Structure 1
C-alpha cells in the first residue's frame, strides 16, 4: 500500500515538474503562424480583376490583395506545371531535381524521395500538414513504385495525379490517403476547397500549427464551370467557350472565398499567412485540340504565355496576406519566386533550411518588413521544350537575360516529353545567342538591349552560363527505355489507323 502511494506521489511530482516545460512547448507551437498556399493551374498574369482583367470578377482575391501585399513581379519556378510544383516544394530550380517537364501518367520521372520538401521541414517544426488538389509530381500516382504526397511530408492528402477527369465537373480521379474515391459530384475547385475546410475543421491536429497546400485544377483544360455562373459572362464574351473560362476563374475565386471565410470562423485568420499564386502563365488557345478549346487566359501586357521563357510564361499573380506582419494595401515590384517559399517558411517556423544541396530561393521575411531580399543567386529558369526560341533565363534586379541554346528548336523525337533523346540534349546543350531586357522600363520585352548594354550583358551572361552549367550537371538522368518503347508502339498504332 505504501509502495503504491509512494509511486503515485513520485509520478505526480514528475508530471508537476514537467508541466511548465510542456506548457512552454505548447505556447511556442501556438505562436507559430499557420501557413496556407493556394496554387492555381494555368492562371494568367492578367486573369484577376486586381491584375487588370476587364471582365472577370474576383472579389475575394481582390479583397485578399487589399488586406495584404500584391506582388507585381511574382514568378513561378518554371513555365509548365510539374517542374513548377516541384520547385515550389523544394526551393530548388526544377532541373536540379530532374523534373524537366510535365509528367505523363506512367512516366518514371518524379520528385525523388530524397528531395527535402517544405512540408517535411514544417512537420519537423511541429506543423500538421495537408495537400488538397492537383499533385503532378510523379507519373506512377498512388503506387508504391514512386513517392506520393504522404512520402513528401503531407500527413493528409486528397489528390489527383494531373488534371481533374474527365473535366472539372464531377471528377472521378481523386484519391484520399491512398484510397480512390470514384466520382465526386460538383466542380473541382469547390471539391478541393471543401476538403481543405473539412480538414481544418475536423481532421487536423488542433494543438499544432498547420500547413495547408491547396492546389486547384482551375483554369487548366478541360474547363467546365457552373452554368449559372457561365450565364453571367455570356453577354461579355465573344463565345460561350470564353464565357466558360471567365466563369472558371470566377468559380475558383469563390472557392478561395470559402477557405478565407473558414479561417475567420475558426478564429485563426489573424495568425495565418496566406500565399496565392499560379504554377505558370495562361494556356495557349486550342493547343490541346478537339474537346479543349476554352483556354482564354490572359498574360496581360506580358510577352508569351505558358511554355514560354519570356515573362508571359513565368510571371504570375502573387498575393500574400499575414495580418500584423504585412502592412495592408501594398503593391510591391520586388521580384519574388515560388522557390522563395521554402526558405521563407523555414525562417517563420524556426527550422533550418536543408544544406546538403543548393537552394535557389531566398527568405521573403525582409520584404514583408519593408526591407531588401538578401539573394545569393539570381532567379533562374530553364525549359528545354519552350515555345519561345530562348530556353534559359535569369533575372537580377530590373534586368533579365534570356539565352538560346545549341539544341533543336523544333519538336524532339519520340514524342513530346522527357525521353532518352531529349535527356541527351538537356544534359549537353550549350548556350549560344543572348537577349537582354530592362523589365522596369520594358515589361513587355520588346526592346532587346544586348548591343547597347554590352558590358552589362557580359556580366550577366557570365553568371547565367555558370548557373546553367551547375544546374545542368546536377540534374539526374531517368531510365525511360520502357516508356520510350511504349510511346513508339502507340505512335505506330496511330499511324497505321
Structure 2
C-alpha cells in the first residue's frame, strides 16, 4: 500500500472537518465544477510563485480553499490528460495514446465510463464548455461526442479554438455549429458557462460543469489592455503570454462569481488544474509566444519529468475546506472520479480497471492508502524518457524500447499500435522526489532496494496498460483489445 507522507499533510485535496458544520448524512449532494487549463505551467500563477503574471482571482480562490503543490495530470499532453481525468484511468488503457488530430480514428470509446455519465445517472445536470479533444471526428456520429459521455449541454471545439483564440468560428453547441463569434476564447467559454448556470431548468438538482479553457495554449491571442500591463517583458511574445494567463484568470473569476451570486459556494466543490506542463519554447512554428514556466521543476510539456506532469491544483468548497491551506500530498486528476463517486455515494465502475483513489478519507484525518501508485506513460516523451511512477517519496522514470523508427512527431497513427504494444521499459532512473523536486540527483546507486522494487513495479504496470490498450483501424472499424 502507498501512504501519504505525513499527518501534517492530512488536509489534502478537498479537506478539513474544521469547517464541517453537519454530518455527511445531512450534507447536500455537492455541485462539482472542474476548471481545466491548457498548457498552464506549474509556475505560471501568482499563488504558485510567478514573479510577474497577475492572477488575482486564482490567488483568491487558493486563499479561500487549498493549494495542491503535488498535483499531477494524467499525462504530459492534452488528449490523454483529458481522458484520464474523465475516466480515472491511465489513458493508455483507453487507447488515447497521444493527442488526437482531426480525422484520426482515436476517440474515447463508448464503453468508457466518465464522471459526467455517472453524475447524470445520479440526477445531476451536466455541462461541458470549451476544448473537448477526445475524438478525431468532431460533431460526427461515427465517433462519440460530449453528449455520448454524459453531457446534457455542450459548447465545445475539437481541439483549439480556430482560426484563432480571438473571434473563433469553430464552436459547436449541442451538435449545431455556432459560427463566428466576437471575443477571446476564454471569455466566450465563461459566457456560456455563466449563461448555463443562470438558465438551468431545475435549480433544485445538483450540477456538474467541466470548463476546459484553450488558454494558454497556442495560438495565443490576448487583449491589448492586458498586454500593456506587462511593459517590462523582454519580448512581445512574453507579454502576450502573461496577458493570456491573466485573461484566463479573469474568466475563472467571472465563473466563480456566478456560482457565489447564486449562493452556491457552500454547495459547490471547485477544482482548478491544468492538463499538462507548459509548452516548450519554439518547439514548432508560431510557438514564439509560449513563455510558460515549470517553476523549479525539470522539463515541460511532453516530459514525464515533473515539469510535464506536475501542475497547479486548487480546490475550494466553502464551509467544508478550511481556507488558506497548502497540501503536498501527491494527488492526481485520476483521483477525481473515485473521489466524486464517494462524495455522491455512487458505486465505482467495476468493468474497467481504475487507477485513481478516493481522497475523502483525508477529511476524517486519515491517511490515504493508494491501491495504485500514480504513474504516467507517453510513447513520445521528450527527454528520452516515456514512463514514470511515483510511490510516496520516490519516483522512477524509464525509457521505452519502441524502436528508433517509431514516429513521435505527430498524432499516433493506428498502423504503429502493434509496435507500441510490443515495447518494454529500460534505462531506469530513481529520484527522491519529496526532497529533489527538480530531479537533479539520480540516486539508484545509493538506494538499490528502492530502485529494485520500483523497477519491478514499473515494469508490471507498463505491461498491464500496454496489454489493455486497444488497437485502432484506419478505416474507422471499431477497435479491439
State the TM-score, normalized to the length of structure 1. 0.89
Q: Is the 8 A contact 2:170 2:179 kept in 1?
A: yes
1:317 aligns with one of 312, 316, 327 = 312
1:446 aligns with one of 440, 445, 462 = 440
Deviation at 1:356, TM superposition (A): 1.0
Q: In the TM superposition, what whole-angstrom CA distance separates every residue of 1:265-302 from its partner, at most 9, and x where no partner exists?
A: 1111111000000000000112221x332100000010
Q: Is the 8 A contact 1:125 1:350 kept in 2?
A: no
Deviation at 1:390, TM superposition (A): 1.2
2:302 aligns with one of 271, 293, 307 = 307
Output the CA distance in 1 between the equivalents of 2:277 and 2:409: 23
Output the CA distance in 2 between the equivalents of 1:146 and 1:421: 19
Match of 1:401 in 2: 396
| 1:31 counterpart SS class | coil
Match of 1:72 in 2: 69
1:142 aligns with one of 134, 139, 147 = 139
1:476 paired with 2:473, answer: no
Match of 1:190 in 2: 187
Output the CA distance in 2 between the equivalents of 1:262 and 1:142: 29
Deviation at 1:65, TM superposition (A): 0.6
Output the CA distance in 2 between the equivalents of 1:415 and 1:402: 21
Deviation at 1:369, TM superposition (A): 4.4
Match of 2:239 in 1: 243
| 2:269 counterpart SS class | strand
Output the CA distance in 2 between the equivalents of 1:178 and 1:343: 30
Q: Is the 8 A contact 2:31 2:207 kept in 1?
A: yes
Match of 2:161 in 1: 164
Larger Rg: 1
Output the CA distance in 2 between the equivalents of 1:163 and 1:30: 39
Output the CA distance in 1 between the equivalents of 2:393 and 2:384: 22
Output the CA distance in 1 between the equivalents of 2:107 and 2:233: 39
Output the CA distance in 2 between the equivalents of 1:190 and 1:293: 23
Q: Is the 8 A contact 2:135 2:158 kept in 1?
A: yes
Match of 1:11 in 2: none
User: Mean alpha-carbon deviation: is it higher for 100-109 or for 318-327?
Assistant: 318-327
Output the CA distance in 2 between the equivalents of 1:187 and 1:118: 28
| 2:369 counterpart SS class | coil
**Equivalences for 1:396-435 in 2 at 5 Å?**
396-408=391-403, 412-413=406-407, 416-435=410-429
Output the CA distance in 2 between the equivalents of 1:415 and 1:308: 14
Match of 2:336 in 1: 341
Deviation at 1:416, TM superposition (A): 2.0
**Equivalences for 1:64-463 in 2 at 5 Å?**
64-233=61-230, 235-289=231-285, 291-408=286-403, 412-413=406-407, 416-463=410-457
Q: Is the 8 A contact 2:415 2:473 kept in 1?
A: no
| 1:288 counterpart SS class | coil
Q: In the TM superposition, what whole-angstrom CA distance separates every residue of 1:457-480 from its partner, at most 9, and x where no partner exists?
A: 111111111111111100001013
Output the CA distance in 2 between the equivalents of 1:482 and 1:73: 39
Q: Is the 8 A contact 2:104 2:413 kept in 1?
A: no
User: Mean alpha-carbon deviation: is it higher for 204-213 or for 366-375?
Assistant: 366-375
Output the CA distance in 2 between the equivalents of 1:366 and 1:124: 24
| 1:236 counterpart SS class | coil
The CA RMSD measured in Å over matched residues stands at 1.6
| 1:393 counterpart SS class | strand
Give the direction of change, closer, same or farther, for the CA distance of 1:207–1:144 in structure 2 (3 Å limit). Answer: same
Q: In the TM superposition, what whole-angstrom CA distance separates every residue of 1:410-434 from its partner, at most 9, and x where no partner exists?
A: x634962212453123201111111
Q: In the TM superposition, what whole-angstrom CA distance separates every residue of 1:89-117 from its partner, at most 9, and x where no partner exists?
A: 00000000000000000000000011000
Give the direction of change, closer, same or farther, for the CA distance of 1:414–1:362 in structure 2 (3 Å limit). Answer: closer
Output the CA distance in 2 between the equivalents of 1:326 and 1:425: 47
Deviation at 1:371, TM superposition (A): 3.0
State the TM-score, normalized to the length of structure 2. 0.92
Output the CA distance in 1 between the equivalents of 2:474 and 2:442: 39
Q: In the TM superposition, what whole-angstrom CA distance separates every residue of 1:150-197 from its partner, at most 9, and x where no partner exists?
A: 000000000000001111100110000000011110000010011000
Q: Whose helix fraction is larger, Structure 1's or Structure 2's?
A: 1
Give the direction of change, closer, same or farther, for the CA distance of 1:342–1:152 in structure 2 (3 Å limit). Answer: same
Q: In the TM superposition, what whole-angstrom CA distance separates every residue of 1:212-251 from its partner, at most 9, and x where no partner exists?
A: 1000000000000001110111x22111111000000000
Output the CA distance in 2 between the equivalents of 1:481 and 1:441: 49
For this pair of structures, how many residues does the alignment match?
Answer: 453
Match of 1:44 in 2: 41
Deviation at 1:30, TM superposition (A): 8.6
Deviation at 1:206, TM superposition (A): 1.3
Deviation at 1:207, TM superposition (A): 2.1
